[in-house]
Amino acid sequence: MFFGELLASSLRMAVPILLTALGAVFTERSGVVNIGLEGMMIVGSFWGALGAYYYGPYFGLLLAMAAGMFMALIHAINTVTFRVDQVVSGVAINILAYGSTRFLSLAIFNMATTSPHVSGLPKINIPVLSGIEFLKPLVTDVSPVIILALVLVPISSFVINRTVFGLRLRSVGENPLAADTLGINVFKMKYAGVLLSGILSGLSGAYLALEHTGMYVEGMTQGQGFIALAAMIFGNWEPKGVLWASLLFGFSEALSFRVVEGGVVPYQFVKMIPYVLTLLVLTGVVKKSTGPAASGVPYERGLK
């Protein structure tokens, strides 16, 4: 029972990181670094709550994805069309997200830092499996978004590795000049990669607000957009690797919740578990990770 609970908790903590990290894979594979994922999660959490408050959870999720996509569009215009430094634009996105949500929260809810309570999607009990005692915590009262996130892993993997779109996306991230000479629209592919990351980050933010907490709270993303970037590197820019990396982050968080008792281990050490575990795995287990060759470099026609 304890182990089942631990896994269920890990999964709940892993899903926001997983969704955002999948987005990060798409944008980086197209050669655009996106530091603004955190900001896109923030707008996702706010607009998700806003949409759900007025028109229900489905609308909330859609609105969150649209809001994330809008922020990603700004990032794409900045970095792809105008070739602004990608890190600078990403930082600007984060500030814009923070300021705009607070401003709108005050204007719409008349509260600076929280929304009213909202309800999420109906929870799912997976039949058959919920009969097994060991798995019970994992398969009862599951948020549909968790299942969606897990399903998105093989789908993303397939899209990136086995479709024409994926091949073009990767080629643009590795060598845009070569891709361009072969007739691939580099700019379009980069836009697609960035927008996909915005949609997924928005969904991830909405998961936090709607599915997990039932309320938008300013700063509830707690830097998970940046952890997602780490998970992406950790997962070697591959959706399947990202899944394991996110689960590891989620697991270590969930574990740290459970070691507090007794007072044998000093409190600060318990809070270090996720980071220590990450370091250990990074240094010991992961083999060399290499990103797309042209990631972070703005592409300009006619320049070598």
Partner 1 sequence: MNGRKILAIALVLVLMAAVLAGCSGNKGQQQQNQQGQQPSGEEKLKVGLVFDVGGRGDLSFNDSAYAGLERAAKDFADKIEVEYREPSAGGQDREQLLRLLAENGFDLIFGVGFLFTEHIQKVSQEFPDVKFALIDGAIDGLDENSNVACLLFKEHEGSFLVGAAAAMKSKTGKIGFVGGMKSPLIERFEVGYMAGAKYVNPNIEIYSDYIGTTGDAFKDPVKGKELALNQFKKGADVVYHASGASGVGVIEAAAAEKKFAIGVDSDQSLSATEEQRPYILTSMLKRVDVAVYETIKSMVEGNFKGGYKVFGLAEDGVGYAENDYNKELIADIKPKLEEIKEKIIKGEIKVPVDKTEYNEFLKSNFK
Q: Does 141 bind partner 1 (CB under 8 A)?
A: yes
C-alpha separations of 292 from 27, 59, 95, 232, 262 in Å: 11, 35, 27, 12, 47
- Pair of tokens at residue 55: 């028109």
What contacts 221, CB < 8 A, 6 or more positions away? 16, 38, 41, 42, 45, 205, 208
- Tokens 């250990």 — which residue? 280
When the beta carbons of 112 and 126 are compared against partner 1, the nearer one is: 112
C-alpha separations of 151 from 22, 122, 147, 219 in Å: 12, 18, 6, 28
**Residue 91: DSSP 8-state:** H
When the beta carbons of 154 and 219 are compared against partner 1, the nearer one is: 219
C-alpha separations of 17 from 11, 62, 171, 202, 261 in Å: 10, 19, 26, 12, 27
Q: Does 215 bind partner 1 (CB under 8 A)?
A: yes
Q: Which of 74, 177, 281, 297 binds partner 1 (CB under 8 A)?
A: 74
- Pair of tokens at residue 72: 């990603």
Distance from the Cα of residue 296 to its chain's centroid: 19
Candidates 188-196, 232-240, 250-258, 273-281; binding stretch for partner 1 (CB under 8 A): 250-258
When the beta carbons of 287 and 301 are compared against partner 1, the nearer one is: 301
| Least separation in angstroms between CB 178 and partner 1 | 22
Q: Does 134 bind partner 1 (CB under 8 A)?
A: no
When the beta carbons of 84 and 277 are compared against partner 1, the nearer one is: 84
When the beta carbons of 9 and 20 are compared against partner 1, the nearer one is: 9
Q: Which of 108, 112, 155, 280 binds partner 1 (CB under 8 A)?
A: 112
- Separation between Cα atoms, residue 281 and residue 168, nearest integer Å: 32
Q: Does 254 bind partner 1 (CB under 8 A)?
A: yes
Q: Which of 56, 144, 166, 214 binds partner 1 (CB under 8 A)?
A: 214
The residue length of the chain stands at: 304
When the beta carbons of 169 and 220 are compared against partner 1, the nearer one is: 220
- Separation between Cα atoms, residue 37 and residue 48, nearest integer Å: 16
Backbone angles phi, psi at 120, to 5 degrees: -90, -170
**Total number of residues binding partner 1 (CB under 8 A)?**
50
> Three-state DSSP class for 124?
strand
Residue list 270-299, contact with partner 1 (CB under 8 A): 271
Candidates 18-26, 86-94, 127-135, 281-289; binding stretch for partner 1 (CB under 8 A): 86-94
**Residue 140: DSSP 8-state:** S
- Separation between Cα atoms, residue 76 and residue 23, nearest integer Å: 14
| Least separation in angstroms between CB 279 and partner 1 | 19
Candidates 18-26, 168-176, 197-205, 263-271; binding stretch for partner 1 (CB under 8 A): 263-271
Candidates 57-65, 187-195, 257-265, 287-295; binding stretch for partner 1 (CB under 8 A): 257-265
Residues that bind partner 1 (CB under 8 A): 5, 9, 12-13, 74, 78, 82-84, 88-89, 92, 95-96, 98-100, 102-103, 106, 109-114, 117, 119, 137, 141, 208, 212-215, 217-220, 222, 253-254, 257-258, 260-261, 267-268, 271, 300
